Amino acid sequence: MSITDTEGGRGSALFPFLWKTVKLLATVALTFLGLLIVTFLIGRVVPVDPVLAVVGDRASKSVYDKAFIELGLDRPLYEQFWLYLTKILTGDLGTSMLTKRDIVDDIARFFPATVELATVGILIGTLIGVPVGVWAAVRKGKLVDQVVRVLGLVGYSAPIFWLGLLGLLVFYARLQWVGGPGRIDIGFEYSITQNTGLLLIDSAMQGEWAAFRNIFGHIILPASLLGYYSMAYISRMTRSFMLNELEQEYIVTARVKGVPEWRIIWVHALRNAAVPLVTVVALSYANLLEGSVLTETVFAWPGLGQYLTNSLQNADMNAVLGCTLVIGAIFVGLNLISDLLYGLLDPRVRRRA
């Protein structure tokens, strides 16, 4: 980035911008290529015969051989990869052997379910995790701090599968506060048109409030669970960032100047702690967006995690590679966004750029 400072004379703003863009694109392209090569190789090393998913266990030799050739498995590895790569460049991710649909369509169907769950989850995790972390930092060593620590520890170490079933048993089966597994009750299934695939947004935009409520009832438990997990991490990190800030001299100065304590904590200190926190939240969000296989299984949530696992177990490599690309794109995208947010939150970063 320093190139902009040394060479960027007046009137040549275009060049550094172009240079930055090219550099960025090259990095992204290389990242994706690397991802694809590794995933492709893993797919070939996995001791699962991909033809089995296509023809099953009972197929005759002629049927098997035909499918083997159709999948291009008779060609050398580099040729298979090259064919795949050239297809991707035209926007064709191939067809899934399992769902018999274009990977692009499959991802467009399963990904929104995961996005919706992950977004509600990260909102819960952040909105609770940050204040709780701040609180724990302020009351360091006190009861509150201990309670938060224990809660965080449980959130970190309890198996999500078990917590999910327990949550269903208590909140769905016994108390009937929330809806059961799945994204929506059958009764509402056909009352809304899926435009974005994000059911909360779709139902709200179509004014179907009864459906919205039902969808909310379905999403809240798995999202809280995922939220709890990210909260555990986010609150721990907030606490340590805050402790770091609260020891700084500007806090002492502010206190001496008589700034109210709430302002010192929530405005002065948190604002500075927020900079590294953005990365923490972004990474937590990216993790949730990969799709949590176990949560999706327990809650029968038709998301990316289930799709990816099922594809992997059947060596449906087109689907696996397609999902890898999407997940790679998420990480790259969220990294970019948190870089941009750094600039907004931290004047020092802004000036350097």
Partner 1 sequence: MIYGRRLIGAAVTALTMLAAPVATAETPPDTLIQAWAIDDVISLDPAEIFEFTASEIAGNAYEGLIGYDPKDVSKIFGKVAENWTIAPDGMSISFKIREGRKFASGNEITAEDVVFSLTRAVKLDKSPAFILTQFGLNADNVDQMVVQTGPYSLDFKMDKAYAPTLVLYCLTATVGFVVDKKVVMEHESNGDFGYEWLKTNYAGSGPFTIREWRANEAVVMERNDNYSGDAPPMARVIYRHIPEGATQRLLLEQGDIDIARNLGAEEMTALASNTDLVIDTGAKGSIYYLGLNQKNEFLSKPEVRQAMKYLVDYQTIADTIMKGKVTVHQAFLPNGFLGALNDTPFSLDVAKAKELLAAAGVPDGFTVTMDTRNTPEITGIAQAIQQTMAEAGITMELIPGDGQQTLTKYRARNHDIYIGRWGPDYQDPHTNADTFARNPDNSDDAASKPLAWRNSWEIPEMTLKADAAVLEADADKRAEMYIELQEEHQQTSPFVIMFQEIEVLGRRKNVDGYILGPSFNDNSFALVTK
Asked whether the beta carbons of 286 and 331 are under 8 A apart, the reply is yes
Under rule CB under 8 A, residue 127 binds partner 1: yes
Site string for partner 1, 261-290 (x = CB under 8 A): -x--xx------------------------
Of the candidates 62, 91, 256, 258, which one interacts with partner 1 according to CB under 8 A?
Answer: 62
The answer to whether 292 touches 224, Cβ cutoff 8 Å, is: no
Nearer to partner 1, 124 or 334 (CB): 124
Q: Which two tokens stand for residue 98?
A: 């399992």
In angstroms, what is the minimal distance from the CB of 341 to partner 1?
Answer: 24
User: Nearest approach, Cβ of 14 to partner 1 (angstroms)?
Assistant: 48
Among 16, 20, 32, 63, binds partner 1 (CB under 8 A): 63
CB of 187 to partner 1, least distance (A): 4
Q: How far is the CB of 189 from partner 1 (least distance, A)?
A: 8
Cα(311)–Cα(303) distance, integer angstroms: 13
| Residue nearer to partner 1 on the CB measure, 53 or 118 | 53
Q: How many CA atoms, within 13 angstroms, populate the side-chain half-sphere of residue 54?
A: 21
Which segment (11-19, 32-40, 129-137, 196-204) binds partner 1 by CB under 8 A?
A: 129-137
Q: Interaction with partner 1 in 207-246: which residues (CB under 8 A)?
A: 213-214, 216-218, 220, 224
- Considering only residues 148-207, where is the footprint of partner 1 by CB under 8 A? 165, 168-169, 172-173, 176-182, 185-188
Q: What is the 3-state secondary structure (H, E, C) of 168-206?
A: HHHHHHHCCCCCCCCCCCHHHHCCCCCCCCCHHHHHHHC
Q: How far apart are CA 351 and CA 353, in angstroms?
A: 5
- For 58-97, the DSSP string reads S--HHHHHHHHHHTTTTS-HHHHHHHHHHHHHTT---B-T
Q: To which residue do tokens 């023809």 refer?
A: 55
In angstroms, rounded to a whole number, what is the distance separating the alpha carbons of residues 300 and 186? 13
Site for partner 1 in 285-344 (CB under 8 A): 297-300, 302, 306-307, 310, 313-315
- Footprint (CB under 8 A) of partner 1, residues 64-93: 66
Residues in the interface with partner 1 (CB under 8 A) total: 71
Q: What is the DSSP letter of 267?
A: I
